[in-house]
Chain A
Amino acid sequence: MNRPGNGKDLNEGGEFQSPSLERLVRSLNRLPGLGRKSATRLALHLVAGSERTTVPAEELVAAIGEARDKVTNCERCGAITEPDPCRVCTSERRDTSLICIVATPIDVLPFEKAGFYRGRYFVLGGLLSPLDGVRAQDLPFGKLQDRIAEDEIKEVIIALDASVEGETTALYIQRLLEGRNLELTRLATGIPVGGALAYTDEVTLQRAFQFRRTF
């Protein structure tokens, strides 16, 4: 239906009098977390910003190119790294009998930033989700099993989202590893540190209560 007021197709050429600027905005807009507005602001800054405040285009292009060439996924654990295997996988100081399963390479970062974890990682690269075309055959479960056997892993920590997909993937892994002589644990969920009890949603509260611990 073409009602007046539906201005979507009135300015097909975009809001700029410049197809190249429009193209840049559209490319930036395709990046995750960048809406059309922020993409426009960034594009204008890159193209029309003063030399003092902006990054020269060549430098930006070179940085992106180099990072794309050099950064890779660790062939052992799947984390993002330049040296391959990554430093976590080769470090002598890491506990080799401990492995933490996460969904994406980004999920490794908070652990490493916090610095308390002494074991290694295994990045699944996704969660079971047939609706997104991800089935068991699409995730590296075979590699996970090999890894556990080779490294004589004693404890597996599952650190996946508390979503339906995360839970199901965890249940799948549990079944997969059943009968092996190892400890299988999961991250606890509960009230965030610094979070006020009165503002905790009922579901989180119920879980925190269910998994309460003794002093």
Chain B
Amino acid sequence: MRIVSASVDGFRNLKTASFTFSPRVNLVLGRNGEGKTNLLEALNYFALGRSHRGAKSDELIHFDQSHLHVGLDIEEESGATLACEYGLGRDGGRRLRVDGEALRRRADLVGRLATVFFNPDSIRLVRGGPDGRRQFVDQGMAEIDPVFLTHLTAFQRALKQKNGLLRDLKKGLTDLSTTRRELAAWNRELAGHAAAVCLGRWQYASFLTPFSNESHKSLTDNDLQLDFSYAPRLESVSKAISEAAENPISKDDLEREILAELDYIMDSEIRRGRPLIGPQLDDFKVVLEGVDLRVYGSQGETRTAAIAMILARSDVLFQKRQIRPVLFFDDIFSELDRERTRRLQEMASHLHQVFIATARRDDIADWQPEHMKTWQVNDGEFSEI
């Protein structure tokens, strides 16, 4: 999949402009603060339905404007083209359209524009807390399985409700006798979605591992084994997974086991006034030759592992849905050695359309891929060179 062209109006500091991109390598050069990340953010917004930096609509609109508009022409794997656009206004207005038709649900957006984004924060995937790893896996699985996304959304909603109920109970707003039965109902609703979420995460980790291992080997040119594996918080899930080889997991059985585990801990949850166990506490292990990189990895090792995992996400997407996402590299090469940088550039641009933003020309020194387009940006104004 690739972004053929784009038009940008009123997005952060970007001057109103149209772009025609290379199907392969697009390079954006410019000093700090000129607008490189802003362009990548504008393009990637349509993939997520939000800013990858977590910015609010108001922050995305140019200081002097009341709204912004971005149009993207996307070419799918089949060769079909989609005219995508989005508009944001200071009045809170937000419209996303594909071929003139408005998108209403979050699920409508998934997979329209598939992208994978690398920036210096990517290292947090290995180094940071479990929430980053959960989000990575959830997003990856949602991309290939819409039913998973529905369960995940429902799970999160039901968890919030249960949390609210436990809080009310602790504050004395509701009485214990009816609340027990009510908690049991929320647990039943949660258990079904939790089983689907846990199974999805487990599957995704198993899809990902062979690819991340392979990417890691190509990036480093060594033979170290990189393993990415699911570390569920629920005992019923750990048990089911460890026995899965002899005893294939049935979702209904797992749901029953999870429910028993949730109900068992109900009294403690009532005392503490919040949910204590569940997939919301899941983690994933990243292990290089037996060493847990979350704890022991060096800067370079963690960074390389994170990149290998993110690249693997694109391989899984291709394996399951025959989609090659667009890759964005924002300021990522400065901390890799020259050899790894070059390998990554070759690997990425071999099969994908890539966008590279950097302040240092060195990062791409004497790399001359075919079909490369280069822009220089000054104060939000882009000129092709």
Contact = CB atoms under 8 A, between A and B. Distances in A.
Interface stretch (B36-44, B179-187, B285-293): B179-187
Contact of B161 (A5, A131, A137, A176): A131
Interface residues of A, number: 26
Closest 8 CB pairs of A and B: A130-B164, A172-B185, A130-B165, A136-B178, A168-B189, A136-B182, A202-B146, A171-B185
A164 B157 contact: yes
Contact of B181 (A6, A136, A203): A136
A3 interface: yes
Interface stretch (B59-67, B95-103, B272-280, B370-378): B59-67
Contact of A3 (B63, B173, B182): B63
Contacts, number: 78
B63 A172 contact: no
Residue among A130, A168, A176, A202 with the most chain B CB within 10 A?
A130
B181 A172 contact: yes
A168 B181 contact: no
Given A131-B160, A164-B161, A175-B184, A4 B63 contact: yes
Nearest to A162: B154
Contacts of B64: 3-5
Nearest to B165: A130
Nearest to A129: B161
B189 A176 contact: no
A164 B158 contact: yes
Interface in B64-86: 64-66
Nearest to B105: A201
A173 B371 CA distance: 64
B189 A171 contact: yes
22 contacts: A5-B64, A5-B66, A6-B90, A8-B91, A128-B182, A128-B186, A130-B161, A130-B164, A135-B173, A135-B174, A135-B178, A136-B179, A136-B182, A137-B178, A165-B161, A168-B161, A168-B186, A171-B185, A172-B182, A172-B185, A175-B185, A203-B146
B95 to A, nearest CB: 14
B184 A201 contact: no
Nearest to B107: A201
A167 B63 contact: no
Give the secondary structure class of B's interface.
helix
A166 B207 CA distance: 34
Given A7-B66, A137-B178, 9 more contacts: A3-B64, A128-B185, A135-B179, A167-B189, A171-B188, A171-B189, A175-B185, A202-B147, A203-B147
Contacts of B154: 164
Contacts of B189: 164, 167-168, 171
A2 B107 CA distance: 35
Please tell me the size bucket of the interface on B.
Answer: 20 to 34
A89 B178 CA distance: 29
B168 interface: yes
A189 interface: no
Contacts of A54: none
A171 B188 CA distance: 7
Interface of A: 3-8, 128-131, 135-137, 164-165, 167-169, 171-172, 175-176, 201-203, 206
A130 B168 contact: yes
Give the secondary structure class of A's interface.
helix
A186 to B, nearest CB: 14
B281 to A, nearest CB: 20
A129 B168 CA distance: 12
A6 to B, nearest CB: 6
A136 B174 CA distance: 9
Interface string B162-206: 101101100001110011011011101100000000000000000
Contacts of A165: 161
Residue among A6, A169, A176 with the most chain B CB within 10 A?
A6
Contact of A201 (B146, B174, B179): B146
B150 interface: yes
